[in-house]
Structure 1
Amino acid sequence: MSKSTANFRLSDPIHFLALGFGSGLAPKAPGTFGTLAAIPLLLLMAPLTPSIYLLLLVLMSVAGIYICGKAAADVGVPDHGAIVWDEVVGLLITMFLIPLSWQSLLLGFLLFRFFDILKPWPISFFDKNCHGGLGIMLDDIVAGIVAWAIMMVIFY
């Protein structure tokens, strides 16, 4: 474990979730690995009714504000790259109401990563102006919404 991730503890449930079940500890592209870690959750959530899926999305987003903020405070880094719960939620937002296939998943994954990495406006606004757990979550929530909107146009 590198110095920058040495203060995370996978035995701590908050850190475990913030790190995307450990995927955020990947030495390269932790956000991409965090997004990949969302796929098993997506497969579990896909059969749910839209209202239950949406309820879980809201709960995971609100909980993520605390989870990401607490993990960041614990390690003393405002938006540590290993914190990837926001990517997990972002992909789940991207795939809301989208018929699940390997093609739709691949497209959703690529769109979400595109917007999460490049952060065009309005995503960049939230990235620069919101801080703490809310800031960590909000830019990825908006990236997920933008990717979702494109997915909706493509699939519907």
Structure 2
Amino acid sequence: MTEPTLQPSLPVNPRRPTVRFMLSHPAHAIALGFGSGLSPVAPGTVGTLWAWVVFLVLQPWMNDLRWSLLLAAGVVVGWWACTVTARNLATADPSAIVWDEILAFWAVLWLVMPAGWPAQLAAFLLFRLFDAVKRGPVGWADGLFKLKRGQPIGWAQGFGVLFDDVVAALLTLLVIALWRWL
């Protein structure tokens, strides 16, 4: 008698996100940064640039309470969106998911503003460096929610997508604070 094989809940091969995929579900549109994550080159950087532009557009209508509410809601909605999108792409942390960069960089800008162009650029470069290199605390955070072989993509992985960028944002803010202090 042969043992029954377990049917995977996700496709064996990961999917590549497309505009059609993004438009097929609201979670996909959010997680893919409303298209910025579809960039074939450096989607995390493109998503962070998109976040920067949107931050500057929203800034005249925002205050601390509104930013804190937007970021809190963005974490909850983003956790859901990143989980759903990762499952549907059959990849635990697809590079096309950029909602994590968007939220984290909004938090950085919110806390460093008002700042001139050079300080905003420094924040952007520091954040991208910490997020892309993933050394030290960011690497630790990135590894916390990795899947073990055979595990389905779940809520922990959706949270993990967001978590390492929060740590990158905190490190960015720490460096900026130390820079201003010196």
Matches within 5 A, 1:2-151: 4-6=16-18, 8-47=21-60, 48-98=62-112, 99-130=114-145, 131-151=156-176
Identity of aligned residues (%): 38
Please, which moves more after superposition, 93-102 or 111-120?
93-102
SS of the residue 1:46 aligns to: helix
Residue 140 of structure 1: how far off its partner (Å): 0.5
SS of the residue 2:110 aligns to: coil
State the TM-score, normalized to the length of structure 1.
0.88
Structure ID, larger Rg: 2
CA distance in 2, matches of 1:102, 1:54: 23
Aligned residues: 154
AA aligned to 1:136 is: V
Unaligned runs of 5+ in 1: none
Unaligned runs of 5+ in 2: 1-14, 146-155
AA aligned to 1:74 is: N
Structure 1 stretches of at least 4 aligned residues deviating more than 4 Å after TM superposition? none
Residue 78 of structure 1: how far off its partner (Å): 1.0
State the TM-score, normalized to the length of structure 2.
0.77
- What RMSD over aligned residues (CA atoms) do the two structures have, in Å? 1.9
Q: 1:78 to 1:50 in 2, by over 3 A?
A: same
CA distance in 2, matches of 1:8, 1:104: 36
Provide Cα deviations, 1:26-49, integer angstroms capped at 9, x if missing partner. 111111011111023211443422
